[in-house]
Structure 1
Amino acid sequence: MKFKFEDLIIWQKSMDLGENMNDIAAKLPKEEMYNLSSQLRRAADSVALNISEGSILQSGPEFRRFLGYSIRSIAEVVTCLHKSRRRKYINEETFLSYYKDCFDLMNMTIAFRNKIKN
């Protein structure tokens, strides 16, 4: 037995993103604990949370709205990654790897949202 959203590839990938960003956040300096680290964790977790919450709704427009929240949260994660790289908390290779993951997830989520009827 499982929930329908667990079969969604965008949900599965967003769960991975949340864990990966949590790993990065855990390595950030202590002075970032209540700023960048907290924001990175919340934004990354918000992606999967909004996909799952939206998927249980009966109406297409409502699900599309929650997918929009997920898309905006991915953009927040990307900005946190840029901040982390600029502050030299992560190297270029790490940045590029997770940037690509975010880019792909955003495009997949947008495409999925576009297939849902209004």
Structure 2
Amino acid sequence: MRDFRKYNIWKLSHSFTLKVYDITKHYPKDEIYGIISQLRRASSSIPTNISEGCGRDSDSEFNRFLTIALGSASEVEYLIILSKDLNYIDENSYINLNEEVNIIKRKIYSLKQKLKK
């Protein structure tokens, strides 16, 4: 069994999730059951799936959960574009969040490739 806390990608995605929760506090209240909820769920799904995958028995199972985490990261990427286009976040926040989520996506992909070897 792997310790998910030792994975840099888990640490990055957990930190990213905390940022998403913080920034969505400033979204319009009528989005509480809409984009706020979806963005928070998708962002927290990234470290959650990494954690769950670490508790599995094989590299192939871990890889499957990394694939799910990668899908969640792509969902977050779209939702931050939507947030920017709806003027819920400014351009600078968008750039920072987009850069972070793409770093996370690249690192997940890299880890998936290492597990295949």
TM range (shorter): over 0.9
In 1: Cα distance, 2:29 partner to 2:12 partner = 28
TM-score of the aligned structures, taking structure 1 as reference length: 0.94
Residue 87 of structure 1 is matched in structure 2 by 86
Distance, in Å, in 2 between the alignment partners of 1:24 and 1:83 is 14
Partner of 1:50: 49
- Partners in 1 of 2:78 and 2:18 — Cα distance? 17
Q: How does 1:25-104 map to 2 (within 5 A)?
A: 25-104=24-103
SS of the aligned residue for 1:48 comes to helix
How far residue 60 of structure 1 moved from its aligned partner, in angstroms, is 1.2
Equivalent pairs, count? 116
Look up the equivalent residue of 2:112 and give its one-letter code.
R
Do 1:25 and 1:38's aligned partners in 2 also have CA atoms closer than 8 Å?
no
1:27 deviation in Å?
A: 1.0
**Structure 1 residues not aligned, in runs of 5+:** none
Moved over 2 A (4+): none
CA RMSD of aligned residues (A): 1.1
Letter in 1 for 2:73: I
Amino acid at match of 1:17: F
Partners of 1:85 and 1:91 in 2: CA distance: 6
Give the letter aligned to residue 44 of structure 1: S
Q: Among the aligned pairs, what percent are the same residue?
A: 32
**CA displacement at 1:4 relative to structure 2:** 1.3
Q: How far does the alpha carbon of each residue in 1:45-83 deviate from its partner, in whole angstroms, 9 at most, with x for none?
A: 000000000011111111111000100111111111011
Amino acid at match of 1:58: D
Equivalent AA in structure 2 for residue 11 of structure 1: W
Structure 2: tracts of 5 or more residues without a match: none
**TM-score for both structures, normalised by structure 2:** 0.95
